[in-house]
Amino acid sequence: MRIIVKAFATLREIFGGTGILYLELPEGSTIKDLLEKLREQYGSNLDVSGFVDENPSVKILVNGREITYLDGLGTRLRDGDSVAFIPPVAGG
Partner 1 sequence: MVTRSPLYHRSQVDKLSPEELERYDRQLRLLGFDVESQLKLKRSRVLIVGVGGLGSAAALYLASAGIGFLRIIDDGYVELSNLNRQILYNTGDLGRRKVEVAAKRLRELNPEIEVEALGERLTEENVKQILSDVDLAVDCLDNFRARFILNDACVELGKPLIHGAIYGAEGRLMTIIPGRGPCLRCLIPREPAEHDKIPVLGPLPGVIGALEALEAIKVITGLGEPAVGKLIIIDGMDLSFYRIEVRRNPGCPACGKIKIEGI
The binding site for partner 1 (CB under 8 A) comprises: 8-10, 12, 18, 48-50, 53, 55-57, 59, 61, 64, 66, 68-69, 84, 86-92
Output 37 or 67, the one with its CB closest to partner 1: 67
Q: Are the C-beta atoms of residues 81 and 62 closer than 8 Å to each other?
A: yes
If phi over 0 gives left and psi between -120 and 50 gives alpha, with beta otherwise, what is residue 5? beta
Q: Smallest distance, Å, CB 28 to partner 1?
A: 26
Residue whose CB is less far from partner 1, 80 or 88: 88
Query: Looking at beta carbons only, is 37 or 52 nearer to partner 1?
Result: 52
User: 60 and 83 in contact (C-beta within 8 Å)?
Assistant: yes
Please state, in angstroms and rounded to a whole number, the distance separating the CA atoms of residues 80 and 3: 5
The H-or-E segment that residue 35 falls in is: helix 31-42
Residue closer to partner 1 (CB basis): 34 or 62 = 62
- In whole angstroms, how close is the CB of 85 to partner 1 at the nearest point? 12
